[in-house]
């Protein structure tokens, strides 16, 4: 997709385009209002700046746009707007052995129960074992610290998705 198309898309089109990167309405609205972008880097910079202004509620909405790491079965139904991106991003889990997938599933449930949102990690390029190690290292964090980390990871995921748009 060209930067020109992003800059000139109507409200409905740009909403769908940006929603494929992050489903938080405040982020989508802010990105829409930040147009036009002179260079691709300007779009990425705007996204990074907007992420720093999001609230906890915005992050929680953004997190809802993701399947749990390792839960690839839900991609096509519940997460249709990001399923193509997420399945590629989580490709490391598709190659995992059963014990890693089962442990990840168990930790995902414990994480969700503790924090009230799913485990968010920029999974691109990470193996299943690396993601498992990350959830193990983060599950004992305090709520605010974990929300901050998850927000940073969400911004990384969105950044990658924006780059893939162009």
d(CA 106, CA 78): 21
List the one residue out of 156, 68, 147 whose CA is nearest residue 114.
Answer: 147
Q: Which residues contact 24 (CB under 8 A, 6 or more apart)?
A: 54, 58, 59, 61, 62, 65
Residue 141 region by backbone torsions, left for phi larger than 0, else alpha for psi between -120 and 50, else beta: beta
Active site residue 88: no
User: Among all residues, which ones are annotated catalytic?
Assistant: 66
């Amino acid at each position: 997709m060209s930067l020109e198309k992003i800059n000139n898309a109507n409200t409905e089109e740009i909403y769908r385009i940006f929603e494929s990167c992050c489903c938080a309405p405040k982020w989508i609205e802010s990105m829409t209002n930040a147009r036009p972008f002179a260079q691709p880097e300007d779009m990425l910079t705007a996204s990074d700046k907007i992420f720093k202004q999001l609230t906890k509620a915005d992050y929680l909405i953004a997190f809802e746009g993701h399947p749990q790491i390792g839960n690839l079965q839900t991609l096509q139904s519940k997460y249709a707007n990001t399923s193509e991106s997420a399945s590629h991003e989580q490709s490391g889990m598709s190659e995992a052995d059963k014990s890693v997938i089962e442990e990840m599933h168990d930790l995902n449930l414990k994480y969700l129960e503790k924090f009230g949102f799913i485990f968010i990690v920029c999974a691109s390029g990470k193996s299943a074992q690396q993601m498992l190690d990350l959830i193990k290292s983060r599950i004992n964090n305090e709520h605010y610290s974990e929300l901050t980390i998850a927000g940073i990871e969400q911004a990384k995921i969105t950044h990658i998705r924006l780059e893939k748009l162009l």
